[in-house]
C-alpha cells in the first residue's frame, strides 16, 4: 500500500478487523472447502461427523460448532465422533415408567 506525500496511509481504506480462518476438521469431522470465507468474532462454524450414525462427543447430534474468538482464533476442541445407541421414542407418546419396571 503506497503512502501519501505526508507519510500517512490513503483515506477510504476499510478499517482492519479481527477475522478467524476456518480450521481443518478434527479427526472424523469434515473439512471446510477451499474458499471458505473468514468469520467475525462471535460467528459460528459447524462441522459434521463424516460417518453415518456417528455422534459428536456426548451430544445427540452429529454436529460440532466452533465459535470465532475475539483473538481471531477458533477454540479447537474436538469431541470424538462415536457410535452410540439412542433411546428410541416411546410408542404412542408414553413416558418412562415411574418407580421402575
pLDDT tens per residue across span 21-38: 999 889 999 998 888 999
pLDDT tens per residue across span 37-54: 999 999 999 999 999 889
Residue recorded with cell 478434527? 26
Q: So what's the pLDDT on residue 95?
A: 61
Q: Which of 88, 85, 27, 79 is nearest to 58 (CA)?
A: 79
Query: In CATH, which superfamily holds the domain spanning 17-31+38-80?
Result: Complement Module, domain 1 (2.10.70.10)
Q: So what's the pLDDT on residue 87?
A: 64
Amino acid at each position: 500500500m503506497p503512502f501519501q506525500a505526508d507519510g500517512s496511509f490513503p483515506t477510504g481504506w476499510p478499517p482492519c478487523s479481527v477475522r478467524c480462518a476456518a480450521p481443518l476438521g478434527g479427526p472424523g469431522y469434515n473439512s471446510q472447502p477451499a474458499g471458505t470465507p473468514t468469520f467475525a468474532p462471535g460467528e459460528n462454524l459447524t462441522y459434521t461427523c463424516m460417518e453415518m450414525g456417528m455422534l459428536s462427543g456426548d451430544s445427540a447430534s452429529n454436529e460440532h460448532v466452533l465459535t470465532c474468538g475475539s483473538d481471531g482464533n477458533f477454540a479447537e476442541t474436538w469431541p470424538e465422533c462415536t457410535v452410540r445407541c439412542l433411546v428410541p421414542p416411546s410408542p404412542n407418546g408414553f413416558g418412562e415408567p415411574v418407580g421402575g419396571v
